[in-house]
Amino acid sequence: MDTTRTRLAIAAAALTLLALAGCSSSGAGGSADADYAAGDGGGDSAEGAGADTKVPMSPADVTERQVIITANAAVLLDDPRAGAVEVAALAAATGGHVESREEYAGTGEQDPGFASLVLRIPSTELTGVIEDLADVGDVQSVSQSEEDVTSTVVDLDARIAALETSTERLLAIMANADDTSDLLATEKTLSERQADLEALQSQRDALANRVAMSTLTVSLESVPPTSAQARGGFIGGLESGWNALVSFISTALVVIGALLPWIVALGVPAAIVLGIVRRRRSATVEAPPAA
C-alpha cells in the first residue's frame, strides 16, 4: 500500500514539472514573437535604407550579349569612285553613315585608281549591307570578327551605380553639414566622385555606340582590262612583247635621267683635262731637238 502511494506521489510530481515546463516554453515563445515583431520594424527600416542602393548587375542580368562587330569587304568594279557613291548610299539607307572616305582617281588604264570607305552600320543591318555589295561589283572577300564585351558592360554599370549612390550620399551629408571643414572635405570628395562618374559614363556611352553600330571597311578596286583578260596566240605575244619593250625603254630613260647629272658633272672636267694633256703632247712633238 505504501509502495502504491509512493508511485502515485512520484507521478503527480512528474506531471507538475511537465506543466511548469510547458508554461515556461509558452512564455519564452511569446517573448520571441514579440522580439520578431519588433524586428520586423527594424527589417523594414533596413530595407528602406537600402532601397536607394543599386545592386551591381551580374552577367545573368544582361538580357543580350554585348558584341562589337568589325567587318571588311573587297570589291572589284570598273569605276571605284562611282562605286563609292553607291556604297555610301547603302549605308545611309540603313541609318548608318560614312566615318571616313579615301579616293584616288588614277592616271589611266594601267592605273585605274581605287576607293576605300569606313562605314558605321547598325549591327542589325550589317549582314544585309554586305549582301547588297554584290549589286555594286564583284565581291572578292569578306571577313568579320566579333568581340564580346558583356562583362565589361556589366562592370561599368556596377561601378556607375556605386558612384551614383556615393554621390547622392555625399550630397545629403553636405546638406546637413554644420562644420565648415567637414563641408569642404565632403565637397572635395564629391568633386572627385563626380569626375570619376563622368569618365565612366563616357566609356559606357562609347562602348554602347560601338555595340549598336558595327564598323564595315569596304575597299573598291578596278583591275586593268589587259590584266583581267589574258590574251593568247600571236596577238597575246605581240602585246606582251610591246609591253616589255615599253617597260624597258621607260626603265632605260629613268636610268639615263639619273646618270645624266653625274655625266655632266664629271665629263666636263675630264674633257678639259684631256684637252690640256693632248696640247702638251702636241707641243712636245713639234718642238725641234736641242743642238
First to last CA, the chain: 192
Q: Are residues 141 and 171 in the same domain?
A: no
Are 162 and 54 within 8 A, CB to CB? yes
pLDDT confidence of residue 57: 43
H/E segment holding residue 140: strand 138-148
Residue at 252 is within a domain: no
Domain of residue 165 covers: 151-210
pLDDT confidence of residue 290: 54
| Sequence letter at residue 191 | S
Q: Are residues 102 and 136 in the same domain?
A: yes
Are 129 and 94 within 8 A, CB to CB? yes
- C-alpha cell, 257: 635621267
Name the strands in the sheet holding 97-104, side by side, starting at the edge strand that comes first in the sequence: 97-104, 114-122, 213-221, 67-76, 138-148
Residue at 121 is within a domain: yes
Residue at 287 is within a domain: no
Q: How many domains does the chain have?
A: 2
End-of-domain residue from the set 164, 186, 210? 210
Residue at 10 is within a domain: no
Residue at 272 is within a domain: no
pLDDT confidence of residue 2: 44
Residue at 96 is within a domain: yes
Residue at 4 is within a domain: no
Q: What is d(CA 184, CA 141) in angstroms, rounded to the nearest whole number?
A: 62
End-of-domain residue from the set 161, 183, 210? 210
Q: Which stretches of the chain drop beneath a pLDDT of 70?
A: 1-63, 108-111, 224-236, 285-291
Phi then psi for residue 214, to 5 deg, are -80, 155
pLDDT confidence of residue 213: 94
Q: Are residues 84 and 135 in the same domain?
A: yes
Q: Are residues 164 and 136 in the same domain?
A: no
Q: Are residues 161 and 141 in the same domain?
A: no
- C-alpha cell, 23: 508554461
pLDDT confidence of residue 71: 95
Q: What is d(CA 221, CA 114) in angstroms, rounded to the nearest whole number?
A: 5
CATH classification of the domain holding 136: 3.30.70
Q: Are residues 155 and 192 in the same domain?
A: yes
Query: What is the torsion angle, in degrees rounded to the nearest 10, for the CA atoms of residue 243, residue 248, residue 254 and residue 258?
Result: 170
Q: What is d(CA 35, CA 48) in angstroms, rounded to the nearest whole number?
A: 20
Q: What is d(CA 86, CA 265) in angstroms, rounded to the nearest whole number?
A: 55
Q: Are residues 136 and 164 in the same domain?
A: no
Q: Are residues 73 and 138 in the same domain?
A: yes
Q: Are residues 72 and 142 in the same domain?
A: yes
pLDDT confidence of residue 271: 79
Q: Are residues 176 and 191 in the same domain?
A: yes
| pLDDT tens string 10-66 | 444 444 444 444 444 444 333 333 333 333 333 333 333 333 434 344 444 445 789
End-of-domain residue from the set 199, 225, 251? 225
DSSP string, 236-266: HHHHHHHHHHHHHHHHHHHHHHHHHHHHHHH
223 SS3 class:
coil
Residue at 78 is within a domain: yes
